[in-house]
Amino acid sequence: MEIINRRQRMFSISRKLRRESKTVGFVPTMGALHEGHLTLVKEARQMCDVVIVSIFVNPTQFNSSVDLEKYPRDLTTDVSLLAEYEVDYIFAPEEHEIYPDGFSTYVNVQGVTDVLEGESRPGHFRGVATVVTILLNTVRPDHAFFGQKDAQQVAVIKRLTTDLGFETEIVVVPTVREESGLAMSSRNERLSAEEREKAAIIINALRAAKTEFKRGERNASHLTQIVRDTIATEPLARLDYVHIVDRESMQTIDKVGDNEALIVIAAYFGDVRLIDNVILNRKQ
Ligand code: PAF
């Protein structure tokens, strides 16, 4: 396993891999790796000849400098975990390698970023879209792996790779959950033991609504009411939003039709904001 810090070195490795006709799987991360990331790595390992993981805490996707500073960083632990998963290259650039002096080019994906997380975290998806564009252009992978937990991020990245003509196939991996059902996230570490246990109400609420969907309920307000009612039974939970959205456009819908849709939720436990979703009408 080689750790690469420079963009030029990453370019030349990826050129060499293409010359050798190796399929390249890429897992972009911000480090602080947990089981969710490692599942993406496992998937990449199964599908591709060569696996590249990036570790870069991307400053442009943070809304506050305090959050950016507080973001957990532990490169040594991350590197030893990735070695166990037989990763071939870790791309861990310094900030100036990604954002050189005078940097002034940003990627704005319209529409899909205007709602939900885009509303709560202005500028967040501009930062994600920009860094993912730079990373894909540097690594040039055949496949890039993202988790379904961040459904809106997936929708943004699919839109941008289609619009900008990237050849990379975006592979979406199902959400990895703790034993209780809580979606894995680095934010879970900030929950108290009690909050972490009680936060399973989020997936229980989504599953209750999905059960009604399977019984034939198509009305979005009825389905979201089930989620609201279930969340209301947990005093530690504070609902931020719950919506039924089109999986591709992330726009709210009133009635679930034939297209893939999601029930998306954001809820607070203390000051920790958690997101999750379930898919309705899954096509594959
Ligand atoms: O999901 C993440 O960890 C980040 O948003 C990503 C895709 C690595 C871009 O910084």
106 and 241 together in one domain: no
Q: Ligand 1: which of 26, 27, 30 to mutate, judged by most atoms within 8 Å of the beta carbon?
A: 30
Domains held by the chain: number: 2
Contacts 24+ apart (CB under 8 A), 191-195: 191/269, 191/270, 191/272, 192/270, 194/236, 195/236, 195/269, 195/270, 195/272
User: Could you tell me if the CB of 131 is within 6 A of ligand 1?
Assistant: yes
**156 CA distance to ligand 1 centroid (A)?**
12
Q: Answer yes or no: is 232 within a domain.
A: yes
Q: Which of 118, 152, 173 is the last residue of a domain?
A: 173
165 and 191 together in one domain: no
86 and 197 together in one domain: no
Q: Ligand 1: which of 67, 71, 150 to mutate, judged by most atoms within 8 Å of the beta carbon?
A: 150
**Ligand 1 atom 9: residue of nearest CA:** 128
CATH number at residue 160: 3.40.50.620
Q: Which of 111, 138, 173 is the last residue of a domain?
A: 173
Q: What is the pTM of this model?
A: 0.96
114 and 246 together in one domain: no
Q: Give the strand pairing for 261-269 and 272-280.
A: antiparallel
Tell me which residues are annotated as active site.
Answer: 37
Q: Which of 173, 204, 224 is the last residue of a domain?
A: 173
User: Could you tell me if the CB of 4 is within 6 A of ligand 1?
Assistant: no
218 and 245 together in one domain: yes
**Ligand 1 atom 2: residue of nearest CA:** 29
22 and 83 together in one domain: yes
87 and 203 together in one domain: no
207 and 83 together in one domain: no
192 and 164 together in one domain: no
CA 281, CA 127: separation in Å to the nearest integer? 30
Q: For every one of its 284 residues, what pLDDT tens digit does the chain have, with 9 covering 90 and above?
A: 999 999 999 999 999 999 999 999 999 999 999 999 999 999 999 999 999 999 999 999 999 999 899 899 999 999 999 999 999 999 999 999 999 999 999 999 999 999 999 999 999 999 999 999 999 999 999 999 999 999 999 999 999 999 999 999 999 999 999 999 999 998 999 999 999 999 999 999 999 999 999 999 999 999 999 999 999 999 999 999 999 999 999 999 999 999 999 999 999 999 999 999 999 988 76
82 and 8 together in one domain: yes
140 and 240 together in one domain: no
Give residue 201's domain range: 186-278
